[in-house]
Structure 1
Amino acid sequence: MSDPVAQQPAEPSFEELAQRVDNAVAAMAQLEPKAREVAQELKDAIEAIHRAGLVTIVRRMRADDGARPVLFDLVDDPVVRLLLSLHGIIRPDPVTEANRVLQQVRPQLHDHGGDVTLVRIEDGTAYVRLHGACDGCSMSSVTLRNLVESALVENVAAVSAVEVLPNEPEPTLIAPESLFAPRLGNRDGRDGWVRAGRTTDVPASGLTTVSVTSPASGQELGVLVVNVADRLTAYRNECAHEALPLDGAVLDVDNGTLTCPWHGFCYDATNGECLSAPGAQLEQLPLRVEGDDIWVRVDR
């Protein structure tokens, strides 16, 4: 007699589910306005039902002495934590919450030619770097700094103070020496540069992975290319935690974050800095665009 459990199809992986969501969102964006409104309403309605059910489950498990430890274990699972965070059932970690707050004030900073980067949160203090018009001594820059400080202190419970760090040279998408190098043309491998696909391969506000061959060693290397606000950034396709591939990573364009699908490590999508474990970093690769071709430098 066959085992009915063994005959059940395997559960889809998190990466497969995330890809289905990405595909559906991309397809919805291509619909006619009226159809897109209907699809958005259906999406919102389904999410509202899911949230109501999840809230009921969490409340009953919290009220049950026997179920409460199971609930706490579940919340430690990165996929469950991500799901509950997306529905606003649990508060996000302070770094994610702070980045969300900064995203809300960023348009005002941009209007004045400035920007802000959250470096870390430690012992109640948010350490930030200010850029452009925010970084100076004028009354305008002081006003922008006060805007950042007020937003963080008033809206992030874990933050009671803000400290502005001096600016350092930021990672660049184009290596300085490449600005003066001859055009690459079809000379794949010149000075460690290899072709990593075309700009059309990277979806708007999305990511893609590609395998390239190191000219120096001949080894196959995985490359992750991320598109945030039409800005391309390339990384080695390895999480800084356990070097697992980031093919199924979750890209949150609004917050500018990239979350590893394996253990939930969260990174700044534009520079690879790990927001979950300060000090960790994705390996960023110099990137340049020649026509529609994307080139990355894998050998130094």
Structure 2
Amino acid sequence: MTDRPDTPENDTQWRTAGDRIQTLLDSCAAAGTAAHERAQQLVREVVGLYGAGLERIMQSLDDPGLAERLATDDLVASLLLVHGLHPHDVHRRVADALQRVRPYLGSHGGDVDLLEVTDTVVRLAFTGSCKSCPSSAVTLELAVQDAIRAAAPEICSIELVTNTKPGAVIAAESLLARVHSNGHDATSWHPVPELDVLAPGEVGGFLVDGTALLACRVGDQTFAYRDHCPMCDDTLAGAALSDALLRCPRCGTGFDVVRAGAGANGAHLDPLPLLRRDGVLSVALPCAVTEAMGASA
């Protein structure tokens, strides 16, 4: 995990501002086509007005340090991107995004090489030691895609290629074909501020959008997994953590939480992407899984 600039606690509400605006626009459609078009025009006028103001502010800055701080603030950066005012080019933004998630990838035994960035396409090669763990492949792919799309929304395609370097064992097919065939094509991020209260060595159970998960703190890093033991097919509630080893209280199997939940006989816990967004630890849940749980509730 890497430290991000401090932001006000209520900054997280702006993550969903676009969705709320779209919902309001859609509701205007019920009043007829004319009302809907007027609402859309109103939004365009407001966006244009604030965009013009932001442009003048950026043009007036003569302090490179201030421009840099603005560029690394999630909320401000997102507005600058909307109006094409971000001071960093797409290559710099993609590279910075990967650098922020690299410690997280390393905690799962993986890494990523940035091969090429064009105006709309990013080409990557993954390396690491998680080929035998499909859930880790899902975790890495989700974390990287989220980071890139947030930093460079103009990117239309993220292409993964097989890395031929010695020791490169995460192939593109293990990250894309396996991920998307399992229905993890889209994710929804959920802030879980309670995770920040975990003390080193502590394990906690949480229910996030209907999904039971287990979170544990090792040193200054927090890891999240689905609350399910693959060996005894039971809950991990009551599990104890010793160093980085999480032991199931029922079957006694130990899992290395720092290394993607690796256990005995090739068993793995199911890790969930956990990143700090707007200063708050947030977990990613595949939408397909979320919807299925909601339907079965």
Q: What TM bracket, shorter-length normalisation?
A: 0.3 to 0.5
Task: Looking at secondary structure, tell me which structure has more helix per residue.
Answer: 2
Return the index of the structure with the highest Cα Rg. 1
Higher relative contact order (CA 8 A, sep 6+): 2
TM-score (norm 1): 0.38
